[in-house]
């Protein structure tokens, strides 16, 4: 039933988005249409990556989900950078980190925990990801902010470029470590793990990849239109640029992995759910954010990797809470509720800021 609703939204939403933009409908109406269309298209991306995850395994499946999900975020951010909305881009990156760690992981733990009292996932992957989260957010994001207080803008940008190159290099090394040199070294059988190998994918590999590609292209078009409505919508609702980036753009941009992770948790496939939530955060922090810094050099307004203090404190808090909760390799509904409560508190803060 849900899939049919999303299918209808996608097939109606894409042409309506085109017609609405050509006929210059009110920005608020277009904003709602674009958001619903992106979320509907994201559901197709989620189903396609779920099919691929069954074929390729939880690590590669989770990576594919995070990559195609973050492609939406990357596309939206590039158009926003081109429009000079650096604040919105930084805020959306903050929102992606917070959303994946607290909202997606929190909902996954909560929904899965309502069905299963105790859910297990690979504790070695959790600890490995914890170290990378500490490096990417607590070290690489905090350093530019601290040093920028004593630096002029050109030097801050140079520092950001240097850190961005290091982040991308380390992210690629982390993928090589997990998928090549240490693939299968840290195996950890989880409850319900045997069922993973028996499940049939909804779509074959070729069809799933085709749907991913088509959905991503459609999202790219709608995302570009979405960016042009942000300023008017912010003014209409009295929202700040920071709130739109941290909450609205981040949730819409990451709708694919949001849906997929929760579905996986409900099916007790916690390795994939955690890989989607945390893996997507790492990809945002170590690849998407630094890549946007480098891409911004070709635009009129460059983007240093300098977040505001509220953004930094929120991200560091989210990382520390996630590490404390996830490092034992098991989850339950109360841990999920704790993470959701943290997300709501932070969301209220950004709304009132």
Sketch the domain layout of the chain as residue ranges. 2-352
Asked if 133 contacts 278 with a C-beta cutoff of 8 angstroms, the reply is yes
Pick from 77, 169, 337, 69: which is nearest to 161 by CA? 169
pLDDT single digits (tens) 188-206: 554 444 444 467 788 888 8
Per-residue pLDDT, averaged over 80-96, amounts to 87
pLDDT of 225 higher than 60: yes
* Backbone phi and psi for residue 119, each to the nearest 5 degrees, phi listed first: -120, 135
Structure-model confidence comparison of residues 177 and 72, the more confident one: 177
Cα angle, residue 237 at apex, residues 236 and 239 outer, rounded to 5° = 115
Asked if 161 contacts 293 with a C-beta cutoff of 8 angstroms, the reply is yes
- The confidence score (pLDDT) of residue 62 equals 66
CA distances from 111 to 26, 62, 99, 203 (A): 37, 18, 16, 25
Asked if 75 contacts 63 with a C-beta cutoff of 8 angstroms, the reply is no
- The confidence score (pLDDT) of residue 243 equals 83
Alpha helices by DSSP H, the chain: 2-22, 27-56, 58-82, 86-98, 105-115, 123-133, 142-148, 153-176, 193-198, 205-227, 230-237, 241-243, 250-253, 255-266, 270-283, 289-296, 309-326, 333-352
Average pLDDT over all residues of the chain: 85
- The confidence score (pLDDT) of residue 190 equals 45
> pTM of the entire structure?
0.81
pLDDT single digits (tens) 91-123: 889 988 998 899 999 999 999 999 998 999 988
Give me the CATH code for the 2-352 domain, please: 1.20.1420.30
* Local confidence band at 186 (pLDDT 50, 70, 90 cut-offs): low
Pick from 205, 264, 209, 327: which is nearest to 58 by CA? 264
pLDDT of 182 higher than 90: no
pLDDT single digits (tens) 229-268: 877 888 888 888 778 778 877 777 666 667 778 888 988 9
């Amino acid at each position: 039933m849900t899939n049919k609703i999303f299918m209808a939204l996608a097939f109606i939403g894409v042409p309506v988005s085109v017609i609405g933009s050509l006929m210059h409908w009110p920005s608020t109406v277009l904003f709602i249409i674009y958001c619903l269309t992106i979320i509907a298209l994201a559901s197709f991306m989620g189903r396609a990556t779920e099919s691929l995850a069954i074929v390729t395994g939880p690590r590669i499946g989770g990576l594919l989900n995070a990559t195609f999900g973050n492609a939406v975020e990357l596309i939206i951010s590039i158009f926003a950078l081109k429009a000079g909305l650096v604040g919105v881009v930084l805020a959306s990156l903050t929102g992606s980190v917070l959303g994946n760690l607290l909202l997606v992981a929190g909902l996954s733990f909560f929904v899965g925990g309502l069905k299963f009292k105790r859910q297990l996932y690979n504790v070695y992957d959790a600890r490995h990801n914890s170290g990378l989260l500490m490096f990417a957010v607590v070290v690489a994001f905090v350093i530019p902010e601290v040093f920028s207080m004593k630096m002029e803008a050109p030097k801050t940008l140079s520092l950001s470029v240097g850190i961005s190159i290091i982040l991308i290099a380390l992210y690629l090394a982390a993928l090589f470590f997990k998928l090549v040199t240490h693939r299968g070294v840290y195996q950890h059988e989880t409850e319900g793990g045997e069922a993973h190998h028996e499940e049939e994918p909804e779509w074959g590999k070729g069809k799933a990849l085709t749907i991913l590609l088509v959905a991503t292209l459609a999202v790219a078009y709608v995302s570009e239109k979405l960016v042009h409505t942000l300023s008017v919508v912010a003014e209409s609702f009295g929202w700040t640029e920071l709130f739109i980036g941290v909450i609205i753009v981040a949730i819409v941009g990451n709708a694919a992995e949001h849906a997929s992770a929760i579905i996986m948790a409900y099916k007790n496939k916690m390795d994939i759910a955690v890989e989607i939530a945390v893996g997507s955060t790492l990809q945002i922090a170590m690849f998407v954010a630094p890549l946007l810094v480098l891409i911004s050099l070709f635009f009129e307004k460059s983007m240093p990797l300098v977040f505001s203090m509220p953004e930094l404190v929120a991200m560091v808090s989210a990382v520390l809470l996630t590490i404390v909760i996830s490092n034992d390799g098991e989850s339950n509904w109360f841990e999920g509720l704790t993470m959701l409560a943290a997300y709501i508190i932070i969301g209220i803060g950004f709304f009132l800021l």
